Amino acid sequence: MMMTPWVLRIIIANVVMYFLTTASPALMSALTFVPEYLLFRPWTLVTYMFLHVGFQHIFFNMLGLFFFGPRLEMELGSKNFLILYFISGITGALVSFAFSASTAIVGASGGVFGVELGFAYFWPRMPIYIWGVIPVEARWLVVGMTILSIYGGMGFAMNGVAHFAHLGGFLGAYVYLKLFYKKYEPEAPAVERPPDVHREDVERWSKIERDKLHVVNREELDRIMNKLNTSGVHSLTAIERAFLERFSAQ
């Protein structure tokens, strides 16, 4: 699998921050998103995305980014990929704030879930192999993860998991792709409008003395005049009009 520039950089940044915050609990505390402190620590809307608690936490988030991120970055381009990733993560924090204001959150899940939704958005029928064995279409994987996140967010399962951040990641990516992302399409080349042709021009061309032309030019004149009579004056190319102009001026 080809690794793309920003997927690689995000993974490296997360791994570096994992070791730094493991060695410094104070740094972890300063960068964690705590909803009630949002106004005093707004940077945590972004920094929480680079923090993880335990090897399993970072491993599965980075694994998801590794599998889904490169193809999406190649599709969107690096700039739009980064916008989608950070919008997803920030929206994840805001949705968590709205529904679970007392819960501090860390982890790249919001951004990674946004990347997974982006993947399903462009390749909905692509099979994803759960545990490397069970094939599930990307669209149904997102639906299933949404249901599980809603179920967990209601307090029925998986305590300690930021379910609303996951849902916010899906929401942020979907809104960005639907409302703001515009796929680059090269503009069609401008078509030069042919010059206007008047009745006087056609009459002048029809008076060209055919018998005085060289045999090659005579044949070309016959071809062009036949085209003019059959398909109309606007079917003539600029070169054909120039030919008629040249010999009508003689």
Tell me how crowded residue 121 is: count the other CB atoms within 10 A of its CB: 19
Tell me how crowded residue 242 is: count the other CB atoms within 10 A of its CB: 11
What are the strands, taking DSSP E only, across the chain? 127-130, 134-137
* Residue 109 is a catalytic residue: yes
Q: CA neighbours within 13 Å on the CB side: how many for 109?
A: 23
Q: Which of 88, 96, 109, 149 is catalytic?
A: 109
Are 169 and 161 in contact, with CB atoms under 8 Å apart?
A: no
Contacts of 116 (CB under 8 A, 6+ apart): 64, 68, 138, 141, 142, 145
Long-range contacts of 60-63 (CB under 8 A, 24+ apart): 61/14, 61/107, 61/108, 61/109, 61/112, 62/11, 62/14, 62/15, 62/108
Q: Which of 166, 198, 235, 248 is catalytic?
A: 166
DSSP state, residue 192: P
β partners of residue 128: 136
What are the strands, taking DSSP E only, across 107-226? 127-130, 134-137
Residue type (1 letter), 233: V
Supply the residues annotated as catalytic: 109, 166
